[in-house]
Amino acid sequence: MRAKEFTLDEARVGTVTYSGMRFIVDDHAILRAAERDVDPHAVDRCLQLLAAKPDLVSGIDSGQQFWVYDSNQNIALGMRRFKQDQPEFQLKTVLDRRPQTPGLVVTV
C-alpha cells in the first residue's frame, strides 16, 4: 500500500494595487497576520510605503523571495516577485518583528 501524498494548495485571496504596483495576497499571509496579532491596516500601510518607493524592488529578480521590513510598525512582509517586466508581487507571510532568516531585507 502506498502512502497518500499531500500537497499544500495556496489560495489567492485578493489583489491590491498601489501606484501601479500589484500585490497578490495569499491565504497563508492572512492566517499568519491573525496568528501573530498583526493589524491588517499595518500590513496595508507597509504595502503602500513599498509602492511609493519602487526603486527599492526594481532590481529584484522574478521568482526571488525577499522581506519588506517597516521599522516604524515593527512588521515584516515575506514576498515573492512574479514578473520581471511588471511590478507584481505575492504577499506570502507576515511577521511581528524584523526577520532573522537570511535573505534580502528591504526596509521601507
Does residue 2 lie within any of the structural domains? Answer: no
> For 64-93, what is the mean pLDDT?
93
Amino acid in position 70:
D
> For 87-107, what is the mean pLDDT?
92
What's the mean pLDDT when you consider all of the chain? 89
> For 72-76, what is the mean pLDDT?
96
Does residue 81 lie within any of the structural domains? Answer: yes
Number of domains present in the structure of the chain: 1
Does residue 3 lie within any of the structural domains? Answer: no
**What is the greatest pairwise CA distance in the chain?**
55
Does residue 1 lie within any of the structural domains? Answer: no
CA–CA separation, 79 and 91 (whole Å): 5
Looking at the chain, the whole-number percentage of residues with pLDDT higher than 70 is 91
**Statement: residue 48 has pLDDT above 80:** yes
Q: Assign 101 a pLDDT band (cuts: 50, 70, 90).
A: confident
pLDDT at 6 (0 to 100): 46
Enumerate residues 6+ apart whose C-beta is below 8 A from 68: 46, 50, 76, 77, 79, 105, 106, 107, 108
Does residue 20 lie within any of the structural domains? Answer: yes
Does residue 8 lie within any of the structural domains? Answer: no
Does residue 40 lie within any of the structural domains? Answer: yes
The parent domain of residue 45 ranges over: 13-107
Contact 83, 72 (CB under 8 A): no
Q: CA dist 87 to 12, 38, 97, Å?
A: 17, 25, 25
Does residue 6 lie within any of the structural domains? Answer: no
